[in-house]
Structure 1
Amino acid sequence: MVVSGGALITTKALVARYAGAVDNRDLFGNAAAGAPKRAVADIKGPLNILLVGIDPRDATSAPLSDSIIVVHIPKGLKQAYLFSIPRDLRVEIPPFAKTGFQGGTSKINAAMSYGSSIGNGKHDVAQGFDLLAKTVGKLTGIKRFDAGAIINFNGFKEIVDAMGGVTMTIDQNVKSEHLQPNGKPRPRRPECADNSCAHPYIGPQAEYKKGTYHLEGWQALDYCRQRYGLPRSDYDRQRHQRQFIKAMAEQALSKDLVTNPIKLDHVLRAAGDALIFDGNGHNVVDWGLALRGVSSNDMTLVKLPGKSLFSGRAYIGEGLDPSAEDFFASVNTDSIASFLVDNPSFIEKL
């Protein structure tokens, strides 16, 4: 988003600085699978990009994908459609030879964990992304993602702070499960030290009320992570995350950022520190230039209908409405615009 727009790419030094700052990894298993290295060609649509948000963990902890967003860009590279995959969606996770995982049905956010083990109790988030991408592909019918990125939530905060905060409209009152009004963590109940409690925190809560506000990095991250106490839980959180991405894009392309080289450089470096990226032979600057025609006004937020699933009284995850299959078909035929004309309820209203 930050490099979208030719005005932001001003010197070769800046291009090299930003492209080199990002951690470029093999997120789709191409190198490990012995796939031939494809020649770098022009980036042409239609395109599908997989974005995953994670909590930073050490190498001995299995990663979980807390946010999964697919971006579809039609053939003309002038629009973008964003839709979220619920983190608790029950799906079929395919076998993964690298870890010996035999496949099975589970919540989709576990796919990264099942694919991440590299032995000796250590985990590789990039390898875990590979299995998650295969799982999302199996769910949606997307045979191949053209690019992928992992962003850690701490890095997300740094990007927002480097931008000077972000202005967005909050569409419902939200109370923080995790933070106090001053941004510090809420105290944990002594009896909940083993993470066995559904609501382990006590004390005053940060609040986000309906209206338009300028959010600092910690507020933005906190707001986008909340689901407890919301009428539709994770579906509300997914909507808030998509809305915030659009707000970030609008501010990233604003004149204030474009014409402020110091702030721009801070944002570029923060984004580089926060991202793991695989552009299938193209670096992030190549992608930024290719998508320079997409502005925040060209982004359509799509909501997938779903509901909670139970086994008896026990919650086992989320399930999508059968109509989501028709939406996925429109993604694969690059006909989302026509689908949304016939199915306007899928469009997120801001």
Structure 2
Amino acid sequence: MAFGANRRRLTLVLAGLVTLAVLAVGAVVVARAVGDDRRVPTAGSTSPAASASGQPSPSASPSTPPPGADIKGPLNLLLVGVDTRVSVPGWRPNADAVLILHVPAGLSRAYLFSLPRDLVVDIPAFPPAGYRGGRTKLTHAMSYGSRVPDRPKQPDPAQGYELLRQTVSDYTGLRIDAGAVLTFGGFDKLVDSLGGVDIHVDQRVVSRHRQPDGTHREPGPGVGGYTGPQMVYEPGDRHLNGWQALDYARQRYLSGGDYTRQRHQQQLIRALVLKMLDDDLARQPERIEQVTGALGDMLVYVGGRKIVEFGYALSGLKPDAFTLVGLPGAGVGRGNAYRGEELTQVGRRFLTELRAGRADAFLADNPKLKVPS
């Protein structure tokens, strides 16, 4: 395989993982799961810096199968954004958004869906963190798993990811092959390096966090309160820069609540993927460097195989092969007795049909589950 083709495929899948994870709104990951030298602590993983330059040697024999050629699917990638208050000693990360990319056998289609952060699930016991297990909100799995008993003020997000992965796998019945967690700071640069993104704003969104000029609103009275002018995103086709895209996708206090936010995250994912493909980054080496450089240490990749291998395996996916799915849910309990969320029967049935390879037929019978792009 030619060097340029290798790099294009690697860049696209790396950017795809990041853009999926980056939409985990409100996330700030403590990305210390890699050391100061950026080495990932598991043998099968690779850091963003290594991934961007670690493609197979262009001098390899043409008859040698490229890395990842043996991956036939199905594949399941778990992409997590984590709410971490890095300024607070000992603060343990909560999973603020959880997205799953399912690619069936044959690797010609992909389904992207979110699980509600407040989904009530059974979290298994996790001895490394001293957690005994329990039934609670999905968002807490990351927090409970990140505990380090002999270092209570130094949580380990990579360890937390493992408990979250186990929990998601148990709930969905899907084997998780790889995934990523994300640090928040590089997102603006990533989007801006692409010249912004085009997205259809489907409802009026008033920002709780940003002013019209992009500056942050000042903290105000009450829990989570802010003061000052607010940025407003009006319905219609809009071109958003980095901070606008991030701000738009993180808003939760809207009609439809977190389910609306999940829809906006997925729409933005598609917009980013289309932008990367339309720009044909392979023919613009300097822009490849900008995009991969913008990632910095924002991404921690977790997987048993190198990201370049998934890059080759997924290189045949086309933008129109991505189906965005919104799983409906409802609250469990009300008022002071609110316990969290649960998927409706239709939402749970989608997971069953997905595992059985019948997702397309099920979505044809339940078209409202498909998220408009």
TM-score range, shorter chain: 0.7 to 0.9
Cα separation, 2, equivalents of 1:321 and 1:22: 42
Question: What residue identity is the alignment partner of 1:214?
Answer: H
Matching residue within 329, 332, 335 for 2:355 = 332
Measured against aligned partners, the alpha-carbon deviations of 1:316-343 in whole angstroms (never above 9, x if no partner) come to 2211102222211122222211221222
**Which position in structure 1 is the counterpart of 2:195?**
164
Deviation at 1:296, TM superposition (A): 1.7
**Which position in structure 2 is the counterpart of 1:204?**
229
Cα separation, 2, equivalents of 1:6 and 1:249: 22
Matching residue within 190, 202, 205 for 1:174 = 205
Measured against aligned partners, the alpha-carbon deviations of 1:126-151 in whole angstroms (never above 9, x if no partner) come to 10000101111111111x21111112
TM-score with structure 1 length normalisation?
0.85
Deviation at 1:152, TM superposition (A): 2.2
Cα separation, 2, equivalents of 1:206 and 1:27: 45
Contact 1:46–1:77 at 8 Å: present in 2 too? Answer: yes
| Corresponding pairs, count | 326
Deviation at 1:286, TM superposition (A): 1.7
**Which position in structure 2 is the counterpart of 1:116?**
146
Deviation at 1:349, TM superposition (A): 2.2
**Which position in structure 2 is the counterpart of 1:48?**
76
- Percent of matched pairs sharing the same residue: 42
Measured against aligned partners, the alpha-carbon deviations of 1:262-300 in whole angstroms (never above 9, x if no partner) come to 11211112235321112312x222211211111221110
Measured against aligned partners, the alpha-carbon deviations of 1:164-202 in whole angstroms (never above 9, x if no partner) come to 21111111110111111111111112x44xxxx2x4111
Contact 1:25–1:277 at 8 Å: present in 2 too? Answer: no
Matching residue within 98, 120, 127 for 1:68 = 98
Measured against aligned partners, the alpha-carbon deviations of 1:108-128 in whole angstroms (never above 9, x if no partner) come to 111100000123221111100
The 3-state SS of whatever aligns with 1:301 is strand
Structure 1 residues 13 and 224: CA distance shift in structure 2, 3 A: closer
Cα separation, 2, equivalents of 1:151 and 1:10: 22
Structure 1 residues 25 and 86: CA distance shift in structure 2, 3 A: farther
Question: What residue identity is the alignment partner of 1:112?
Answer: M
Deviation at 1:158, TM superposition (A): 2.7
Matched, 1:342 2:365: yes
Structure 1 residues 203 and 338: CA distance shift in structure 2, 3 A: same
The 3-state SS of whatever aligns with 1:273 is coil
Q: Which stretch has the larger CA shift, 88-97 or 333-342?
A: 333-342
Matching residue within 232, 238, 258 for 2:256 = 232
TM-score with structure 2 length normalisation?
0.80
Cα separation, 2, equivalents of 1:24 and 1:162: 26
**Which position in structure 2 is the counterpart of 1:9?**
6
**Which position in structure 1 is the counterpart of 2:113?**
83
Question: What residue identity is the alignment partner of 1:124?
Answer: D
Cα separation, 1, equivalents of 2:9 and 2:314: 19
Contact 2:181–2:299 at 8 Å: present in 1 too? Answer: yes
**Which position in structure 2 is the counterpart of 1:137?**
169
Structure 1 residues 163 and 11: CA distance shift in structure 2, 3 A: closer
Deviation at 1:233, TM superposition (A): 0.6
Question: What residue identity is the alignment partner of 1:280?
Answer: G
* Structure 2: unaligned runs, 5 residues or longer: 16-33, 46-66
Cα separation, 1, equivalents of 2:296 and 2:316: 22
**Which position in structure 1 is the counterpart of 2:309?**
286
Contact 2:80–2:95 at 8 Å: present in 1 too? Answer: yes
Question: What residue identity is the alignment partner of 1:247?
Answer: A
Structure 1 residues 54 and 264: CA distance shift in structure 2, 3 A: same
Deviation at 1:46, TM superposition (A): 1.0
* Structure 1: unaligned runs, 5 residues or longer: 30-38
Cα separation, 1, equivalents of 2:146 and 2:358: 34
Question: What residue identity is the alignment partner of 2:206?
Answer: K
Deviation at 1:68, TM superposition (A): 0.5
Cα separation, 1, equivalents of 2:10 and 2:317: 24
**Which position in structure 1 is the counterpart of 2:216?**
185
Contact 1:163–1:267 at 8 Å: present in 2 too? Answer: yes
Question: What residue identity is the alignment partner of 1:139?
Answer: Y
Measured against aligned partners, the alpha-carbon deviations of 1:48-87 in whole angstroms (never above 9, x if no partner) come to 1100112454373201111100000011111110000011
Question: CA RMSD for the aligned pairs?
Answer: 3.0
Contact 1:174–1:209 at 8 Å: present in 2 too? Answer: yes
